[in-house]
A = this chain, B = another copy of it.
Amino acid sequence: MSNPPLSRARIGDVARLAEVSTATVSRALSNPDMVKPGTRARIREAISTLGYVPDGAARALALGRARTVGAIVPTLDNAIFARAVQGLQTTLSNSGYQLLISAHEYNLSAETEVVRALLERSVDAILLVGQDHAAQTYELIRASQVALVIMWSHPSAELAAAGETPPSIGFDNRLIGQLAADHLLSLGHTRFGAVSGFTRHNDRARERIEGFRETLAQHGCTLPDACVIEQPFGFEGGRAGLQHLLKLRPSPTAIFCGNDVLALGCLFEAQALSIDVPGALSIVGCDNLPIASQIMPGLTTILLPTYELGERAARAVLHWLADGEPPPHERLPIELIVRGTTARPCEAALQPTLA
């Protein structure tokens, strides 16, 4: 407390000051009731005098686990991933684990390097988003024998049955497309379009579109490839997507967007073009971002409990690390949230003046 110490206090410094061995200090810290209360008090005293904080690297080396979990998301610059990470972090933190976080910006080979970097920090487990990853990524994780949990996706029934997939805590992405299609069909639409993120290396995006397309097909409607436009995530992507779809003849009256950011982009572009939503055009998004309920006329969307996804994924990891047993797959419930009027749009109204 007087003059600053020359170097950070070590367990040996504490032991010396408390007049015990380092073994006893170590026990006082990790197994308090193995040491006599009086000794414990002296040690506590010494620790606070010296401002001792144990060295995690040494601890991790001795214990063989670091109490650290690594998560890799496409980007943090998307409320949806940020929220899930928040759920992860809070849950892990409450159990004494820390979260090492990285983003790969939708670049699968960057992801492999990030995984390597995390493994080199001796994480106890790794969390990835989706099933689509470089073979090398899976190989690296397998060879390192760390726990791997997949978030967001749900493995196909066959794969899951064959036990071929890592434990997955996710959504039924195909069902998302199906809910959107059912809703839009129920409004009486017959001409559909979709704005999606890039589907390459993104099983979530792919399955959402597939689910949408299949459900339409079951009702005798088609979704031609030309009616599915892939755009970068972001408002501008959504705006460009709508512009593209409106150039089609006949143009769609109902649009399913892979997420709310794209859907909001569509909505803003429609407003700019004075297209009445939902009067003349129906838009369905996905995620239920807070903003979706705030804007006028409000955005119909599919609620994905992403914070809870993070929580559940964290719990799955914690159980795995505690039991040694891989956790079961989990599929989180999703829900269609209808906002705005649900009246069948008047198709005639849809004659925008394009810039």
Contact = CB atoms under 8 A, between A and B. Distances in A.
A214 to B, nearest CB: 32
A82 B89 contact: no
Contact of A99 (B78, B102, B120, B295): B102
A77 interface: yes
Contact of A57 (B61, B83, B268, B294): B61
Nearest to A143: B51
Nearest to A59: B120
A67 B268 CA distance: 44
Contact of A119 (B53, B61, B271): B53
Interface in A58-99: 58-61, 66-68, 75-79, 82-83, 85-86, 89-90, 93, 96, 98-99
A144 to B, nearest CB: 5
A56 B120 contact: yes
A218 to B, nearest CB: 35
A68 B120 CA distance: 11
Interface stretch (A110-118, A193-201, A222-230): A110-118
A317 to B, nearest CB: 16
A291 interface: yes
Contacts of A114: 93
A142 B7 CA distance: 11
Contacts of A145: 7-8
A56 B122 contact: yes
A264 interface: yes
A89 B60 contact: no
Contacts of A121: 56, 66-68, 98
B144 A51 contact: yes
A38 interface: no
A264 B294 contact: yes
Interface string A157-172: 0000000000000000
A90 B107 CA distance: 13
Contacts of A56: 57, 66, 119-122
A335 interface: no
Given A76-B82, A76-B89, A57 B53 contact: no
26 contacts: A7-B145, A9-B143, A51-B140, A53-B143, A56-B119, A56-B121, A66-B121, A67-B121, A68-B100, A76-B76, A77-B307, A79-B79, A79-B82, A86-B103, A93-B102, A96-B117, A98-B102, A98-B117, A98-B121, A99-B100, A100-B100, A100-B101, A101-B101, A234-B290, A235-B291, A235-B294
